[in-house]
Amino acid sequence: MSDFDIEKRQTCIRDILDLAVKNGATQAEADVSVEDGYQVNIREGAVDTIGYHCNENLGITVYRGQRKGSVTTSAMDWVSLQEAVIRACQIAEFTQVDPCSGLADANLMATDLKDLDLYHEWNLNTKEAVKLALECEAKAKQLDGRIKSSEGVSVFNFKSFDVYGNTHGFIGSNKDTYQTISCSLIAEQNNRMERDYYYTCSRDPRDLDDIDKVAKQTVFRTVRRLNPQKIQTQKCPIIFEADVANSLISHFFAAISGGNLYRKRSFLLDCLDQSIFPEHINIFERPHQLKGWGSAMFDSDGVATMDKNFITAGVLTSYILDAYSARQLKRQTTGNADGVHNVYVSTSDKDLPQLLREMGNGLLVTELIGQGINLITGDYSRGAFGFWVENGEIQYPVSEVTIAGNLRDMFSHVACVGNDIDRRGNIQTGSILLESMMVAGI
């Protein structure tokens, strides 16, 4: 396994920054990242692949006034690192002057670097991982006679380590782990086949679902797709099930990200302090949650992260900015240089069955296909799989449909968010009920 020596990397960062200044840099920043782990894939009772990942690299960015030079290297001996610094300084002599370049302001650097409980090693070797995967697949195939084959079970076991420092005197480190077990199956009935999957993931292996649950959930999700029907083209209410609803929120975040805003590539340009969602919707960030998927005390600019609301009672109250995009927009960084950190969408007290009853007749979407999103106009069109609902009850699976609308309209017509939160990602939301969308069928 890789050497995760924090002090060694911190010393390396300091030496590199000192060397950059000696070679003419007015400012500099450097990052060392180490990744280590493996992935086991089995299929139909046999090992498919076992992949090991062990990587360390360093990125150095130097500024000569408002000229910038960057170099990345995976050669970590001191001679190679010196060469990388010198090349970055040479590049910065010739790049175009950019008045928005440079480090984030020194007074914004993080000072509280507490441990967020993100590192929990899974002492499972590859032989044990293969056994676990085989057991999971075998359990799944025994649960229902309609399961005819497996697309495989995968076990991931990864850890990573990162040290960032800059010439403001800031230096900080992050250390985290990631484990997952995923299963994919194929069911057959009436000479038609369907596939689906389920996965569990965690920073702490003790928080993973056991393989019995992984097997049962995969079987349930797969066989419920059998014998899909087509529906007529129509406008109707739609529920995005929780594990696909987060994609709607990710489109919202893309639209309020600094890079898209200053390039004028967003349908939410100049919409700060405007109503985007209904009043009952709040979307907020909590970057200091223990074991959180997006938890961090500082962003990749070294800026301190903080709790914030992006949507308050439906109103857009914050963009997503790093130091560079903030200067482009004549604003201050929001501490989101590497994206959002643990986002939550306010929910109602209704579970999914209650949400279905509130919808009455409409489409429950459980899978989205394709990437038909125009971020400039907000136009939205994606293939979908799901279930037709009548009188609040699921009637049958639905395939070969396309759902379409405009994201601005979709956001403003969110009728309800369920409390069935999918906690397996950085954006956590329950199922989302939209008042109406166009569904193209037959």
Q: Please state whether the predicted TM-score (pTM) of the whole model is above 0.85.
A: yes
Averaged pLDDT for residues 379-408: 96
pLDDT, tens digit (0-9, with 9 covering 90-100), for 350-370 = 999 999 999 999 999 999 998
Contact 249, 383 (CB under 8 A): no
Residue 442 has pLDDT above 90, yes or no: no
Averaged pLDDT for residues 424-435: 97
Residue 52 has pLDDT above 80, yes or no: yes
pLDDT, tens digit (0-9, with 9 covering 90-100), for 1-30 = 456 788 999 999 999 999 999 999 999 999
The values of phi and psi at residue 130, to 5°, are -60, -45
Averaged pLDDT for residues 291-309: 97
Residue 93 has pLDDT above 50, yes or no: yes
b/e map 339-369, b = 16+ CB within 10 Å: bbbbbbbebbebebebbbebbeebbbbbbbe
Binning pLDDT at 50, 70 and 90, where does residue 371 land?
confident
Domain boundaries, the chain: 126-161+170-223, 228-442
Q: How many Å is the Cα radius of gyration of the chain?
A: 24
- For residue 21, how many C-alpha atoms fall within 13 Å in the half-sphere facing its CB? 11
Residue with tokens 């995005």: 240
- The pLDDT score that the predictor gives to residue 3 is 61
The values of phi and psi at residue 357, to 5°, are -65, -35
Tell me: domain 126-161+170-223, CATH 3.30.2290.10, correct?
Answer: yes
Residue 264 has pLDDT above 70, yes or no: yes
Binning pLDDT at 50, 70 and 90, where does residue 104 land?
very high
pLDDT, tens digit (0-9, with 9 covering 90-100), for 195-229 = 999 999 999 999 999 999 999 999 999 999 999 99
Strand pairing of 308-312 and 315-316? antiparallel
Supply the mean pLDDT for the chain: 96
- The pLDDT score that the predictor gives to residue 1 is 41
Averaged pLDDT for residues 153-158: 98
Binning pLDDT at 50, 70 and 90, where does residue 140 land?
very high
Q: What percent of the chain stands above pLDDT 70?
A: 99
Residue 182 has pLDDT above 70, yes or no: yes
Binning pLDDT at 50, 70 and 90, where does residue 151 land?
very high
CA torsion sign, 365 to 267 to 293 to 195? positive
